[in-house]
Structure 1
């Protein structure tokens, strides 16, 4: 490393910020130091002289060490970690990705934070003390050739012998003391920067909580995608087919055209309501106006809109649709909606057979429609509808299957009535 690089490392902007960080640690240590000093004065008594006033260097270091114990205890407070992390990020130059974002959630994280806080105050106290005590002494030594030395230092030189030019070396000694402060500050700042990712970084529990949060966000995104695909996508498919049917028979059958236009209006209005419901999930305050989500009891209206688009639906239900639990009923309605939309989109105006069976344990939905003559339609992997149906079934601990058999496309879904949603 060149001299310029060493100078930048020791006196550059990052080194100066780390020195400020260490001074902050020394300032944080002062209340603990004063409390420990007061406690020592009260506890240690001299029978002859009364209260003990710690004045020697040994006792000053003893108070310093004693002050670190309560500092470590207060660092167990969960909010200490984000506060210290912010200081380490801004002043020590530690990357944000290496530090935990939130409060300490476990005792392991609190213990690491306490160790970091103690190390910060320890190194900060040493550097702060040196920064306060050493520079004045260094200035006196550097200026000694033109000013008189203090009596104590003059006596020290005399004890060293008169043959060696001790006074002439005083400026070099002053520069060495300043270099010692700079070097100690640089070493302490580098030590804290290296320890920050280990002591203030995320623990295994933090990483697990972050992964769970990401999974929840992904699940919410997938839910919104399914709702938008099944509700708005179905409405747009139905409106497209209804508009095409109305255009073809506008002159020959005005009554049917009016019926189709009416159905388009109703379908669009309901789609807007369902869109408001889906978008309401995005608002954190939950104040968005939402329409009630449709359930199996609303399947008749869905069939009417499908028939208005030119499709033929043969529907039969067995069991009480109104008795299906709300969460299962909503998901079953979306599955029926997506199945009908797929039939209209891929097979056209073909007869569709819909069966919904409700028993004591399950609700089963089956949709069948003949395939179009010609090349087999590329349905698997071509869209998100079947994947969304499978996800809905899986979330309710059910199952689904789909495929072509003897010229008929069949979709079968089973949803447990008492299965807990995942």
Structure 2
């Protein structure tokens, strides 16, 4: 039988308290923040050597040490590049890195590492420089006095002569009292360092954070990256999906036909479609390897005959009619129309098989119309749209609608009578 849990005793509470205090003290970020604070007060130390001097210190002189350099610090904050330097220091010294252990709340907020873009940024940087200077002066003063007092307690504990001890009070303490006060003084100093570091980190998040204009620019950049990833996903889906659909249909038809001549044509269509898909795949992978590389050599609607021939080679009877100057369409419109037609034909082959397909492309004044129709699959109960309309929420037909919306147009997909229809209208502007 297991013994019942013992109630927490004094020793267990003491150990918990030690762990609660020791956990933050053992984190590396506490000491990088301490160093950051001390560096902030270094300018005041250099200024004090010039004026008012570091001898014969009085309360007025200590006040001058903190106030005199605040004016130059505020002026330095108006230099645009200073914000970038301070932001980088804050990112690396005030917050734990991704490899460090710590609370999630201690992770670096959105600290700007860009030069000041407007007067508001310069004012916030100037306020940060003054705050860092004053916090550095306070930290340097407390650290110096606390370190001197710890050394004085150590000297008292080991029995050093009273004349050699520089304590805050005149009388030396008994050795056992001084020995007990050594860890207390160290703990108070470290507690001050932890609190001061947390305070300056919170101030950095407010004063060095991005401005509303920078946040908007970051949001736009993030949106562009997401749109680019979505576009690449659509490219791969349309190209590879079309190639696989053609290959499956061709292979099945060749096996069912048992005709060497038809098999030869089917293998040729599979080879051509696979080669085109490989070219598309290499182009997309090149964009992924080099994110800044512009997309090039993407097929346009002027090359639509390749898609139509591929569908015909798969057994579909394609009735295509193209009206208007397709070769003079704007690049984005022409490329997206090609992908829409490709996905429409892929959808036909995948869900309806080699059925008659009617394709109409019309370039009119101000817009281009794409219309693809095919009979719905037929079962014992009549036309069944489930095989195709079930893909209404899928990535293929949804991609057609998204492409049209991004270009300011509209696409509709769904059954119309006994046919399945994909219709898109895109503006040319």
TM range (shorter): 0.7 to 0.9
Q: Report the CA distance between 1:23 and its aligned residue.
A: 4.1
Distance 1:180 1:320 in 2: 86
Q: Find out whether 1:29 has 2:31 as its counterpart.
A: no
TM-score of the two chains, using structure 2 as the length reference: 0.79
Q: Cα distance 1:12–1:128, how it changes in 2: closer, same or farther (>3 A)? A: farther
Gaps of at least 5 residues in structure 1 are: 42-51, 158-165
Which residue in 1 is equivalent to 2:7?
none
2: CA distance, partners of 1:386 / 1:395: 14
How much has 1:364 moved relative to structure 2? 0.3
Q: Give the RMSD, CA atoms, in angstroms.
A: 3.6
User: 2:389 aligns to what?
Assistant: 380
User: Once the 2 structures are TM-superposed, how far is the Cα of residue 361 of structure 1 from its aligned partner?
Assistant: 0.4
Paired with 1:291 and 1:402, the residues of 2 have a C-alpha distance of 29
Hey, what's the Cα distance between the residues in 1 that align with 2:172 and 2:85?
Answer: 53
Q: 1:215 to 1:256 in 2, by over 3 A?
A: same
Structure 1 counterpart of 2:222, from 214, 219, 239: 214
Change (3 A) 1:318 1:122: same
With over 3 angstroms needed to count, the CA separation of the structure-2 counterparts of 1:124 and 1:195, relative to structure 1, is closer
Q: 1:271 to 1:16 in 2, by over 3 A?
A: closer
Match of 2:163 in 1: 150
Mean CA deviation greater in 394-403 or 201-210: 201-210
Find the counterpart in structure 2 of residue 128 from structure 1.
140
Q: Is the 8 A contact 2:359 2:371 kept in 1?
A: yes
Structure 2 match to 1:77:
83
1:274 is aligned to 2:280 = yes
Q: Does 1:392 align with 2:390?
A: no
Alpha-carbon deviations, 1:61-101, whole Å to 9, x = none?
31233234434554542231132122112399674644225
Greater gyration radius: 1
Q: Relative to 1, partners in 2 of residues 1:168 and 1:366: Cα closer, same or farther, differing over 3 Å?
A: closer
Q: Give the Cα–Cα distance (whole angstroms) in 2 for the partners of residues 410 and 235 of structure 1.
A: 21
Q: Map 1:22-421 onto structure 2 (within 5 A).
A: 22-35=34-47, 37-38=49-50, 40=51, 55-57=56-58, 58-74=60-76, 76-90=82-96, 95=104, 97-100=107-110, 102-104=112-114, 115=127, 118-140=130-152, 143=155, 146-150=159-163, 172=177, 179=184, 182-197=187-202, 199-200=204-205, 202-203=209-210, 205=212, 207-250=215-258, 253-284=259-290, 292-374=297-379, 375-382=384-391, 383-418=394-429
Structure-2 change in CA distance of 1:139 and 1:323 (3 Å):
closer
Alpha carbons 2:304, 2:338 under 8 Å: kept: yes
TM score, norm. by length of structure 1: 0.80
Which deviates further from its counterpart, 28-37 or 370-379? 28-37
1:169-207: CA deviation from partner (whole Å, max 9, x where unpaired): 697579658745642541342243145245326556355
Counterpart contact for 1:142–1:175, Cα < 8 Å: no
Closer/same/farther in 2, CA of residues 369 and 153 from structure 1, 3 Å limit: closer
Question: 1:138·1:174 contact (CA, 8 Å) conserved in 2?
Answer: no
**1:135–1:393 Cα change, 3 Å:** closer
